[in-house]
Each structure stands twice: as structure tokens, then as C-alpha cells.
Amino acid sequence: MTERDPVPTQPASSDLPADQPPPVTPWPTSAPGAPAPARRRTPPAAWLVALALAALIGSLLFVSGYLVAGGSSPTGCSAPNETFAAFCDAYSKLKHDYVDPLDDAKLAQGAIQGMFQNGVADPFSGYMTPADYQRALGDLSGKFSGIGAEMAVKNLKNPSDLAACTKLSDICVLVVVSPFAGSPAEQAGLKPGDIVSAVDGVSVNGSTVSDEVAKVRGPSGTKVNLTIGRDKRTFDVAITRAEITTREVESRMIDGHVGYVALHGFSDSVPGQFHDALKQLLSRGATQIIFDLRDNPGGFIVAAQKIASEFIGSGLIFTQQSAGNSITQWKALGGGLATDPKIRVVVLVNNGSASASEIVSAALQETNRATIIGEHTFGKNTVQVWAPLEDGGGVRITISRWFTPEHHSVHPDGVQPTIAVTIPAGTPPEKDLVLDRALAYLATQVVRSGASPSPTVSPAAALPVGALVGWDPGGQQRVFA
């Protein structure tokens, strides 16, 4: 959101403070001390001329007002209806009277942002600038041009307090979480834990993570120079950007029989990545699955349907309710890898699990296919369609709401965990209490033929609706560069 510019103060005269207007000199009507002139009788003909002129001026003002209300202003602003006439009037006055030159592009962007922020009571509908829109489209497609590294903010003073790190500084630093395998970042020698202190020679301090990631990204084949801090050394690394496919799936085996798979988004490429990771875990002997959706902000609902169908063999996954009470049912696709109830499934969630994450976790819970462990989810029950604008930016507009298989809504309370885990303040980030609780729970489960987990809580869950996306870029904690 943008702050409003302060109301400009009137320029001060040489003898007055800035907050007081200069004195107004009255127009002299006669010489000082001279007697007032006698009032003269106006001839009737003059009155008739005056009345005729007043009528003509009034007609012109009326026509002018009509044109402004339904047509174009002198600046070329065309009002779609009378309600927007004041907008064109304000634009005309700004262009004509403002003391400094104005940028029409900035005025237009501000007007669009204001229309969404003040006119639409929905935090998930809004305007995206050209840079934000293109970056978001890259995130959703699962592909972008950059160096191929996962980055995050780290609070060096208090690692558990990331909320304090709204801007980068000497305390809140930009770190490399890990370079992608085979990426330009890996080939250039970047390592997990490296601190990025400058991009192309400009310090990152005072900036935001998203702004710096935008600088690191760029057209394939171009170079970016990063200043890296590692082991008390500081050095520069030149990296040539390339086309990158995001790594949104992580997987590994735990204790020889538990397959762990984490999902960081629901882009176009995720279902294939998730299918391959799950297949590999099962082939390595996994009989229990921990599915980690923590801090996953969501994505395409088609991706959510495909992911849920890996665990749910048939039946309803969610319903979508659009304008005019139009209902669409999204059902399991069949042929999933882990639909066998003998494969125990646990889903990890927290307050950052939103949208498509809530579709999947609610569906697995209500179909008795999984036990949900952690914190309640974000509570987002809407889906947005994204559309480009002529300036290269875009808008996201809420088009529908979604509901769980049992027609619950996740708004505002989110999906409630079957087993709640509270993270005490000051818990070190490397101590994963939720994962520990999931492993302890699975250790108590006895696999029985034909058995399935029994949920203890019915979730208050709402499923994202809409044909395209339910994604909130503000919910991301980690970013790809």
C-alpha cells in the first residue's frame, strides 16, 4: 500500500511563517480620502444586455458540465459515466495547476491502486505494477530468468524474530538458502549461508527482499555482480543469468521408512515434480508419508487438484461457487500414487499455509486420508483471476469462493489441525517441533489392512475458487533469484 502525499503547504512570503498565507491587497476602488462616487441609474437597455449575457454564460457552463460528466475533459480524460466526472476534473486541475511536472504513468498507477484499495473491500484483489506482475507470473509458471538460488532473510541478532526484518540491514541480512543443482549460482560457487551485501555494487541495506531479488533476476545471458560475505571474508562474484525452473519440491527418507516431501508452491510445474518425488520415496520403501505444506502460499487450483489426487482415489476434493451461484465440482482424477489407505499420511501446516495449501489439507482431512499436525492455516477462501493491463501491469480480481468436500469454509479460522502444536517463543529455527511431533505420532500407528486414519476434528475449511489462481505473493517467506 502507498501512503498519501502530504498536502503541500503554500509558499511563504519573506515576512510570514510557511503555514500562513500572505496578506491580500484589496483592489483600490478610489483614491484615498476621496468621497465615494454617487450611484448612477442603469439604463433598462443595459439590464437587458446583462441578462442576455448571463443566460448565455449559464448555457455554456451547463454544456461544459455535461461534456465533463459524459465525455472528455480538456486533458483528454474520458469519464465512463457521471460518477467519474470528478476524477477527470481532478486530473485536469492537477495537470493545469500543479507547480511541478507530473508523470502520467505514476498518476495512472496511483489511481488504479486507489480504486482497489479504497473502492474494493477485498485484500486479495489489487493492482500489480509491470515489474511486480512479470515477477509474479514467473513465480506462478515455475520458470524465470535469474541465477537459480533460494534466498531468505536472516535476523543475526534474534533468528526467531523475522517479523522485525521488514527492511534489510546489518542485522537483517539477505542470505543464500541454497543454490539450485546445476544452476549459474552453483556453478559460480555460491553456498548456503552466504550473505549478499550488495547487488551490482549497490548496498542492499534499506531495501526489501523483493526489490533485491528483482535486481538479481534479469534477461538470460546478462550478468549480475553480487558482493558476498562468507567466513569473515567479503568478495564479489559475477554470475551470468539463465532460464531457471524453480525447485518447489523437496524430499528425503527419514528412519528408513518415512518419506518426507515438502511443497513450497503450486505452480504449473509442481504436479510433475511432486509426482516424481513421491514415486521415488515409495520405491525406496516409504510406508508412511509426511507432507509438509508449511508457509506454502498457494497457486493454481488445477495444481491443487492434481496434488490431492495423489492421495485421494475418488470423490469430491472441493467445490467452487462463482457469481450467480454457479457451482463447479472438482473431483479426484484417479490413478494417484498414494491412495492406498495402508500408507499413513500426515500433513504439516501453519499460519502461512494458504489457498491451494488449504484446498489440499482440508480435502485430505475430510476424506479421512490424512492427519493434520501443526497450527491452523491462513484462512483464505477465495480465488483470483489475473489479467494484464495496457501498461504492462496486471490486476487480480476475486471471482469465486471455494468450499471443502463437507462444504466448510476456511475463512476466517483456517483448517484446524487434528493435532495442534504450539511453537514457544525463542525456539531456535533449527529445532522443528512440528516435524518431531509428526514422527512421534507415526511411530504409534499400526498399519492394518484396509485401515485409514480417523480424524478427531472436523475442519472449518474453505476451498479456493476460480479457474486460475489463489495465490498471495505477500505470504512467501522464501524467494527464488
Tens digits of residue pLDDT in 102-155 = 999 999 999 999 999 999 988 899 999 988 888 888 878 888 899 999 888 888
Confidence of residue 26 (pLDDT cuts 50, 70, 90): very low
- Looking at the structure, do residues 292 and 340 belong to the same domain, yes or no? yes
Q: Which residue has the higher pLDDT, 114 or 33?
A: 114
Domain end call among 219, 245, 271: 245
Predicted confidence at residue 6, as pLDDT, reads 35
The residue among 245, 279, 312 that closes a domain is 245
147 within domain boundaries: yes
Whether residue 232 sits in one domain with residue 284? no
**Average pLDDT over all residues of the chain:** 81
Q: Is the pLDDT of residue 358 over 70?
A: yes
Whether 310 is in a domain gets the answer yes
> Is 306 in the same domain as 365?
yes
Tens digit of each residue's pLDDT (9 = 90 or more) over 239-248: 999 999 887 8
Average pLDDT over residues 30-53: 39
Among the listed residues 355, 357, 400, 409, the single catalytic one is 355
HSE, CB side, 13 Å, CA atoms: give it for residue 144.
Answer: 26
What pLDDT was estimated at residue 134? 84
Indicate if 380 belongs to the active site.
yes
One domain, residues 72 and 192? no
Distance CA 142, CA 152 (A): 18
Note if the pTM is more than 0.85: no
Q: Which residue has the higher pLDDT, 61 or 289?
A: 289
> Are 347 and 454 found together in one domain?
yes
314 is catalytic: no
* Inside any domain, residue 165: yes
Helix (H) and strand (E) counts in the chain? 10, 22
Spot the catalytic one: 150, 212, 358, 366: 366
The set of cell numbers assigned to 58 is 449559464
Most confident of 177-181, 416-420, 445-449: 416-420
Element (H, E) at 87: helix 85-97
Q: Looking at per-residue confidence, does 270 or 2 come out higher?
A: 270
Tell me, yes or no, whether 373 and 259 share the same domain: yes
pLDDT at 131: 83
304 and 193 in a common domain: no
pLDDT at 3: 33
- pLDDT surpasses 80 at 163: no
Provide the percentage of residues in the chain whose pLDDT is more than 90: 60
Q: Which three cell numbers stand for residue 425?
A: 517463543
Residue 429 lies in a domain: yes
**Catalytic choice (248, 380, 400, 409):** 380
Whether 239 and 298 map to the same domain: the answer is no
Indicate if the pLDDT at residue 464 is higher than 60: no
**Residue 434 shares a structural domain with residue 456:** yes
If asked whether residues 403 and 286 sit together in one domain, one would say: yes
Query: How much is the pLDDT for 29?
Result: 31
Closest CA to 349 of 430, 415, 261: 415
Contact status, residue 410 vs residue 416, Cβ threshold 8 Å:
no
336 lies in the same domain as 415: yes
Number of domains in the chain: 3
Range of the domain at 81: 57-102
Asked if the structure places residue 373 within a domain, the reply is yes
Contacts of 401 (CB under 8 A, 6+ apart): 320, 321, 381, 382, 383, 409, 462, 465
326 vs 319: CA distance, rounded Å: 10
**363 vs 161, residue with greater confidence:** 363
253 in the same domain as 147: no
3-state secondary structure of 107: helix
* 2 or 162, which is more confident: 162
Domain termination site, one of 41, 72, 102: 102
Q: In degrees, to the nearest 5, what angle opens at C-alpha 124 toward C-alphas 123 and 125?
A: 95
CATH of the domain at 213: 2.30.42.10
